[in-house]
Structure 1
Amino acid sequence: MKMMKVMMLIVMMMMVSEGSIIEPTCKETPDFSLCVSLLNSDPRGSSADTSGLALILIDKIKGLATKTLNEINGLYKKRPELKRALDECSRRYKTILNADVPEAIEAISKGVPKFGEDGVIDAGVEASVCQGGFNGRSPLTSLTKSMQKISNVTRAIVRMLL
């Protein structure tokens, strides 16, 4: 067990010495484990700067929004009684994909992180509004909570650029 801890420490030190800023950056977010997991799952993470990490997480927001929108589309057939709430969620997740994500990517890429933060915050708000439309019985709860968590982590990293 002690040897395992030593090995983990060596690996972590090697990562830091190779220039990875994932762990120190993720320590400044509200969910260290989620942050590290998301950034380590992308090959760009190990060599990215803070802006690059933010862009990776914005890509994760985009991927989750796409997945959620696909789930919504499937639910129309399975749960027609939820049409009104699903319509609202569909609009919300299309906003994430068509407005929030592009705004955030453009802002971070152009060095204007404040507008990137706005897009990231809005993604979390859109997910929250979607969730609320089901009056406590949402079939999308795990996806909307994931969007809120990823948005919060991303926002913390974008704020480091301000």
Structure 2
Amino acid sequence: MANLKPVILCLFLEAIVVMNTIPGSECRSFLPNDESLIESTCKKTPNYNLCLQYLKASPGSSTADVSGLALIMVNVIKAKANDALKIIHDLQKKGGGPKQQGALSSCASNYNAVLVGDVPKATYALQAGDPKFAEDGANDAANEATYCENGFSGNSPLTKQNNAMHDVAVVTAAIVRLLL
């Protein structure tokens, strides 16, 4: 038994040397940081599948940290706001009654606020390392979508866009909250 101690010690030291010489690219196969970070982050949001959908679709997500994942989601908010504004402008061109035109105008203001205020605020805050303001920006975007939807009194032609914006913004806020 006493003769085995040096052999065990040698094997142990050799294992340590081998583990320290494995290139970083090989470590990814043992610890897929990109996938595990995205999945563990999305598990902490209210809509896991939606979170995965957008983060896995983004090319930069595989190398991003949590702050980078939040920035990706802020860009999704921006895209959703632009999509909603395009639809709003198309609906405004088609006409409709004064009540609908008023609600569409209000929605245009809501989504402009997202693009001019909330997205830049959240982007700057994340880049500056101040996640509280980024969370506020994401929550504001969710609220703007809700205000737009409520402006139609139950007959909204923008329900799909408003729900999408709300859901994406809530997921974004949850990711940002992980940085607090």
Query: TM-score scaled to structure 1, two decimals?
Result: 0.89
Question: What letter matches 1:46 in structure 2?
Answer: S
Which residue in the other structure is 1:18 paired with?
A: 32
List aligned pairs for 1:36-47, cutoff 5 A.
Answer: 36-47=52-63
Which residue in the other structure is 2:166 paired with?
A: 148
- Aligned residue pairs total 149
Q: Matches of 1:107 and 1:131 in 2, distance apart? A: 28
Structure 1 residue 19: deviation in Å?
1.7
Question: What letter matches 2:67 in structure 1?
Answer: S
Structure 1 residue 15: deviation in Å?
7.6
1:116 to 123, 126, 134: 134
Structure 1 residue 83: deviation in Å?
0.6
Structure 2: give runs of 5+ residues left out of the alignment.
Answer: 1-27
Q: Matches of 2:104 and 2:30 in 1, distance apart? A: 44
Question: What letter matches 1:53 in structure 2?
Answer: L
| Paired residue secondary structure (2:157) | coil
Deviations 1:38-68 (A, max 9, x none): 0011001111100000000000000000000
Change (3 A) 1:112 1:16: farther
* Larger-gyration structure (1/2): 2
Q: Matches of 2:122 and 2:29 in 1, distance apart? A: 28
2:102 to 84, 100, 119: 84
**In angstroms, what is the RMSD of aligned CA positions?**
1.2
Q: Matches of 2:74 and 2:30 in 1, distance apart? A: 23
Structure 1 stretches of at least 4 aligned residues deviating more than 4 Å after TM superposition: none
Structure 1: give runs of 5+ residues left out of the alignment.
Answer: 1-13
Percent of matched pairs sharing the same residue: 44
Question: What letter matches 1:25 in structure 2?
Answer: T
